[in-house]
Amino acid sequence: MYIILAFNEGGGKRYMKPLIGISAGLKENTVLSLHKINYEKISENGGLPIVLPNVIDNELLQAFAEKLDGLLLTGGGDIDPILFGEEPHKDLGEVSPMRDHFEINLTEEMLDLDKPVLGICRGSQVLSVATGGTIYQDIYAQKRGGILQHKQKAPREHASHFVQIAEDSLLYAIVKTNQLKVNTFHHQAIKDVGKNIQISSRANDGVIEAIESNKNAFALGVQWHPEFLNDAASQSIFKAFIGASLTT
């Protein structure tokens, strides 16, 4: 659903922006929570951002999917492990069942309509679970081998570790490099990818850092937070997402 915003001074030419839904946290089931940089990045790159409420009504979910041109799944808390067939690990953090329900079901609807989805951090995990994948409830307790620091103790604008990018991936086509240095703020991570999902990036300790659909035109999840980085690769991710949303 393109939005007509204005006419230029010469008259006649319409400025069209894709409508991008942005997921938000839900505190105590009453208060939506979202860092403003998420909608700023959407508007800076040519999209019209709208913050979405966490609704559970299926008709409303379907209506959102039909109206939106793209979906940004933002970072946040942990995902309820019951959604991928596990009971809670002792190191599981705070979960929001209503947010989980909304985001996973809306993601499924968007994928069915082949509309663009960009998942950031938690959002990449939502993309995996929505397609039948699983996640580590806590990588430090559950993943074998030496683990890098994935919850950095540095400013969010600082890139702290490297990720390797598969050259046959959408992500590579976007960022045009096989290695990036990224920021990191997570203790959960994707374990098994879902149906029609492939791994496009890993950290040097083997942790999955990016996934994408091999069926949909644009469905990408990154474990890091490009919204806080000002490098060219991070900007190109948002530009590619908005560009894909223009074609829906």
How would you write 191-244 as a 3-class SS string?
Answer: EECCCCEEEEEEECCCCEEEEEECCCCCEEEECCCHHHCCCHHHHHHHHHHHHH
Helix/strand/coil for 35:
coil
Residue among 109, 121, 150, 209 flagged as catalytic: 121
Active-site annotation holds for 225: yes
> If we measure between CA atoms, which residue out of 62, 22, 66, 16 comes closest to residue 41?
22
For the chain, how many helices (H) and strands (E)? 7, 14
Residue among 103, 109, 212, 227 flagged as catalytic: 227
Active-site annotation holds for 87: no
Helix/strand/coil for 70:
strand
Residue among 150, 161, 186, 225 flagged as catalytic: 225
| Distance in Å from the first CA to the final CA of the chain | 8
Active-site annotation holds for 121: yes
Given a contact cutoff of 8 angstroms between Cβ atoms, the answer to whether 229 and 237 are in contact is no
Q: Are strands 14-22 and 2-7 parallel, antiparallel or unpaired?
A: antiparallel
> If we measure between CA atoms, which residue out of 110, 205, 129 comes closest to residue 164?
205
Burial class for 60, CB neighbours closer than 10 Å (0-12, 13-18, 19+): middle
Given a contact cutoff of 8 angstroms between Cβ atoms, the answer to whether 221 and 124 are in contact is yes
> Where in the sequence numbering do the catalytic residues fall?
121, 225, 227
